[in-house]
Amino acid sequence: MKRQTLYSSSPRRTLRADPAPPPATPSLRARASRALARLRGVALFAAGALVATALAVLAGRVERAPSGLTQEDIEHAVAKALETLPLPSPAARAWEKIRPSVVRVRSFADSVPDHEPETVLSTGSGVIILESGVILTSLHVVQNSRRLSVTFADGLESEAVLIGAQPENDLAVLRAKNLPDDIVAATLRSTHDLAPGHRVIAVGFPFGVGPSVSAGVVSGLGREYRSPEGKRILSNLIQFDAAVNPGNSGGPLVTAEGEVVGIVTGLLNPTEQRFFVGVGFAVPIEAAAAAVGVPPF
């Protein structure tokens, strides 16, 4: 077996040798070289210390910089940022939120001759309130129709069926047969804190063009409105001044946060012409949601 090497702990013996000759006296050039080397070392050390000191002073200034900011400096910086990057308007923010939930609604005539294209009876708007494809719109948009069609925000067109109605509030409930993969239901909001002067946005398809956005304010609450045909009197309506025209009926009236507070039902024009003169009406969302059978508040 190979044994492990052991190291002795006894003092090492010093071997005698002939005495070394005395060291030679260094030349003047050698002494000068050594002195120059020592001076270089001292200079490098001093330079390093100076750099370290400078860095420490700079770091201290950087740390102390924020404490030197005044409220005026902060307000100036914020104002400058707002000038260069303006915030979107309330109407634009509301539109972005409600846009995926707004649909175009078309109803087709009761009957058409053979081999003739279908006749569009009316065009209106609607809003998705359930992800299962339940849509609120105005009853006068879909009544007396043979077939109903809805077009979603992504362009998908689907047939729809009427599954409920509330004639006293001019409301209809539809269900689409085909749904987009990314269907988005609108957020509903109670009208209990709604007041004249609050901002509102109407979204729909006026004259079939859209989706279109118009902005205004609530003009009044608890209003009464008689339909142009004079067949129906609607009550407890929201009056607003956001521009609406034929085709907006059934579309959502939303807050600046993009939450639905009403369903547009009609407009008032003293000349009995069907164009907007500043007075629109919407059914409060409480009545509209009740038409579905599940009050949301």
Domain extent listing, the chain? 99-176, 199-292
- Judge: domain 199-292, CATH 3.90.79.10: no
**Rounded Cα distance, 107 and 141, in Å:** 7
Q: Which of 101, 122, 138, 140 is catalytic?
A: 140
Secondary structure E strands in the chain: 102-108, 120-130, 134-138, 147-151, 157-166, 171-176, 199-204, 212-226, 233-240, 252-255, 260-268, 279-284
Is the pLDDT at 157 greater than 70? The verdict is yes
Q: Is 170 a catalytic residue?
A: yes
- pTM beyond 0.85, yes or no: no
Q: What is the pLDDT of residue 171?
A: 92
Is the pLDDT at 202 greater than 80? The verdict is yes
Q: What is the pLDDT of residue 30?
A: 57
Q: Is 27 a catalytic residue?
A: no
**Rounded Cα distance, 66 and 283, in Å:** 54
Residue linked to tokens 């002494």:
31
Burial class (CB in 10 A: 0-12, 13-18, 19+), 223: middle
Residue 36 has φ and ψ, to the nearest 5°, of -65, -40
Q: What is the pLDDT of residue 15?
A: 39
Mean pLDDT of 174-180: 95
Q: Is 76 a catalytic residue?
A: no
Which fold is adopted by the domain 99-176?
A: Thrombin, subunit H (2.40.10)
143 vs 37, which has greater pLDDT?
143
Rounded to the nearest integer, the mean pLDDT of the chain is 79
Q: What is the pLDDT of residue 200?
A: 96
Q: Collect all residues with Cβ–Cβ distance below 8 Å to 112 and sequence separation of at least 6.
A: 118, 119
Q: What is the pLDDT of residue 278?
A: 80
Mean pLDDT of 51-64: 53
User: pLDDT of 99-146, one tens digit each?
Assistant: 999 999 999 986 555 666 778 888 999 999 999 999 999 999 998 888
Confidence class for position 185, pLDDT limits 50, 70, 90: very high
Proportion of the chain above pLDDT 90, given as a percent: 47
211 vs 80, which has greater pLDDT?
211
Q: What is the pLDDT of residue 182?
A: 92
Token couple for 4:
């492990």
206 vs 4, which has greater pLDDT?
206
> SS3 for 175?
strand
Please indicate whether the domains covering 99-176 and 199-292 agree at the CATH topology level: yes
Q: Which of 107, 170, 212, 214 is catalytic?
A: 170
Look at 103-112, 142-151, 181-190, 267-276 and tell me which has the smallest mean pLDDT: 267-276
Is the pLDDT at 50 greater than 60? The verdict is no
Decide: 297 and 225 in contact? Cβ < 8 Å: no
194 vs 87, which has greater pLDDT?
194
Proportion of the chain above pLDDT 70, given as a percent: 67
Confidence class for position 34, pLDDT limits 50, 70, 90: low
Decide: 170 and 140 in contact? Cβ < 8 Å: yes
Mean pLDDT of 68-92: 77
> What is the number of alpha carbons within 13 Å of residue 108 lying toward its C-beta?
14
